[in-house]
Amino acid sequence: MSRPTRNGLSRLALGLAWVGAAALGCKPATDVEAPEVSETRGAGTDRVGTSAGSLATVNDGDLEPDAEQVAAGVPYLRFFIALGDSPRRGPADAPVTIVMFSDFECPYCEQALATVAELERDYPGQLRFVYKAMPLANHPNAMVAALIGHSAQAQGKFWAWHDLVFSGRGISQDILDRYIAELGLDAGKIERELEELTYAPEVRGDLRVAKRLKLRSTPIFFVNGRMLSGARPKPVFSHLVEQELSMAEGLAERGVVGAAVYEYAIQWGYTALRFEGERPELDEDTVFPVPVGDSVVRGRADAPVTIVAFSDFQCPFCARGHEAMEALRARYGEDIRFVFKHFPLPGHPLGALASRASFAALEAGKFWEFHDAVFALGGRYGADDLLEIGAELGIDRQAMEDALMREDNDAVVQADLDLGVRLGVTGTPAYFINGRPIVGAHPILDFRMLIVEELARVAEARAQGVPAAEIYRHLTGVAQGS
């Protein structure tokens, strides 16, 4: 793989070569082989399938079921979907489990649910139906509805909430409020849980499963682990149910009955899909040991949450990400420590130039003021703008000009670039929250939901006696003093 060179600004800015792109992020233009990234997946058999084409083309004809699985009396391609504490209805010992990845604002989900209701009537006692949250980004109320759904579950009224939201009247914030009142839910408790994102881990867990399986739209069903996408006609569902009932009869002869059928059937299932030629993505379930090192830091050293940003001053998405970071800083204050790593991309020579200038600001004790002022320009600036920012911050002009021209600090930038590449960073912005990656200019809610999970990990570590100053090292596994 090509590496950034230390021989001058132009090479630093233009000679970088790696691949990939974050959603709503900047990416380099040159394709090279991406580094390997280790992944931690859920329980079950870790198998990665490959298939050309989109999710819609992934079916029993594209991937072959495991030979051991077929020999064990379980035909057809399967996927491993752990049920966890997901809402469910129907008997626990039903021979057929239907898992639905659903979006409360999706009209096709509502259409498909009518079919599911017919199946439940046609096969009484033989079906168990399980809900998984998959609110889509283009549905503004879906995430809130999903979070409220878990609050309703805690109050013993999930399915009443589920069915009311899918009653055909659509959803908006006002309508959701009316549904809360109509069901007699504790509105004050729900408001607090939404503010604190109490059930963010549950929703994020479902979304991560969906991401690994390349689920892009809703509804998606898994019938005893067999994927069925879209609001299909009832005969399609009935055909699968009949096949699964037949399989269950055969498994009964092997001593696999009742509640054991589902776990038995999916144990060989795929936990992830990777399309042919696809580059690896940073997995949010993996904790990366990202050293802070000598990087510039904003916030106290013993903050429970550390966010390391690999950023490019010329990247407009980094500027948008900075806005999210500022919102997080306003909300969490000293509970978050921010760490900046330089990651100027090819094609962004001014990003590398601003990185150089930032060292003059750092020397003057004004790095973060310079950082904020550059990102306020949204990636649209020139060398004169950098000098003007320096002047406004009271930084010696000669020091700024010297920093722009000299290569003295390029090695520091190079070290950050090399670290990012080793970690698997392929575009900007890339953030590591207590070592867990989130790539791209996401809405603040996405960051907050991950922070909620991290604060739970912090609380667990503190309960085990880990001192505050050691939290980051303990959670990420970075070497002492890194």
Domain match, 210 and 76 both:
yes
| Domain range for 364 | 9-35+286-476
Q: Which pair of structure tokens corresponds to residue 330?
A: 């306003």
Q: Could you give the CA distance from residue 460 to residue 69 in angstroms, rounded to a whole number?
A: 38
- Give the torsion through C-alpha atoms of 115, 152, 106, 196, to 10 deg: -160
| Cα→Cα distances 153→95, 99, 117, 185, 444, Å | 24, 17, 20, 10, 25
Query: Are residues 234 and 351 both part of a single domain?
Result: no
314 and 250 in a common domain: no
Same domain? For 385 and 267 the reply is no
Low-confidence ranges of the chain (pLDDT < 50): 1-23, 29-61
Same domain assignment for residues 350 and 418? yes
Question: Which amino acid, one-letter code, is at 107?
Answer: P
Domain count for the chain: 2
Looking at the DSSP bridge assignments, the partners of residue 142 are: none
Q: CATH number of the domain at 24, please.
A: 3.40.30.10
The H or E element spanning position 222 is strand 220-223
Instruction: Give tens-digit pLDDT for 243-295.
Output: 999 999 999 999 999 999 999 999 999 998 877 766 677 888 899 999 999 99
Those residues with Cβ within 8 angstroms of residue 241's Cβ, 6 or more apart along the chain or in another chain: 96, 119, 123, 126, 127, 223
Q: Which of 86, 110, 108 is nearest to 98 (CA)?
A: 86
pLDDT, one tens digit per residue, over 25-68 is: 565 533 323 323 222 222 333 333 333 222 333 444 467 888 89
308 and 205 co-located in one domain = no
Contact 284, 438 (CB under 8 A): yes
395 within 8 A of 364, measured Cβ to Cβ = yes
Are 462 and 471 within 8 A, CB to CB? yes
User: Is residue 335 located within the same domain as residue 440?
Assistant: yes
- Same-domain pairing of 260 and 301: no
Q: What's the pLDDT score for residue 480? A: 78
Q: Is 219 in the same domain as 78?
A: yes
Burial class for 429, CB neighbours closer than 10 Å (0-12, 13-18, 19+): buried
Q: Rounded to an integer, what distance in angstroms lies between the CA atom of residue 280 and that of residue 261? A: 33
348 vs 57: CA distance, rounded Å: 38
In our burial notation (b when 16+ CB lie closer than 10 A, e otherwise), range 287-301 reads bbebbbbebbbbbee
For residue 42, tell me if it sits in a domain. Answer: no
Residue 41 lies in a domain: no
Specify whether 64 is located in the same domain as 206.
yes
Residue 52 lies in a domain: yes
Torsion of CA 219, 21, 143, 152, to 10 degrees: 80
**pLDDT of res. 169:** 82
Q: Are residues 316 and 410 in the same domain?
A: yes
Start-to-end Cα distance in the chain: 26
233 and 320 share one domain: no
